[in-house]
Amino acid sequence: MKDTRALIQSHQSIRKYEDKRVDDAIIADLIESARWAPSSHHVQAYTIIRVTDHEKRIALKDVAGGQPWVETAPVFLVFTADWHKHKINNEKWEAPMQMEETENVIVGAVDVALAAQNVLLTARSYGLGGVMIGGIRNDLHEVARILELPSYTFPVMGLCLGYPDQDPGQKPSSC
């Protein structure tokens, strides 16, 4: 595995992939890395959805502005902010659901971003490349319909992953 600093500082957005399957054990490890991301009060207010259905991938590609790699990447994940599972637990334990909308949106979005970055960094340590898909937010209601998301959830970003079939170089630093 690469040195962590070198891995972080060598990021490239990869949009073209070899026609090569990503092993399920690698995907399981990616999800495990997400689980270890920092999380506000350890609520892990997110769910990661692996989209394998081709028709759903086409529909999500269209929502995301026609980005073809959403359809063609060997792996496509959608990261959702998720308070639905907490609602279920609150109902189970007859506890009130205390939702302060702005704070919960921020907590969910930050938890998602941290989990997604852990997934991408772990993927890169396996020689995979990827690109985050913010266009998944172009139509939240349509993505929720396509993925049949429950209440108290919303999509934050997608992530395409696969073995790189390009070397696009790095964007210059803007800091």
- CA 28 – CA 128 distance, rounded (Å): 14
Q: How far, in whole angstroms, is CA 9 from its chain's centroid?
A: 20
**Domain-wise residue ranges, the chain:** 40-162
pLDDT, average across residues 82-99: 82
Residues forming a β-bridge with 158: 78, 133
Residues forming a β-bridge with 112: none
How much is the pTM? 0.91
pLDDT (tens digit, 9 = 90+) per residue, 14-68?
999 999 999 999 999 999 999 999 988 777 889 999 999 999 999 999 999 999 9
DSSP assignment of 81-138, as one string? EE-HHHHHHHHHTT------HHHHHHHHHHHHHHHHHHHHHHHHHTT-EEEEEGGGGT
- Taking the domain 40-162, which CATH number applies? 3.40.109.10
Q: How far, in whole angstroms, is CA 138 from its chain's centroid?
A: 15
Q: Is residue 97's pLDDT more than 80?
A: no
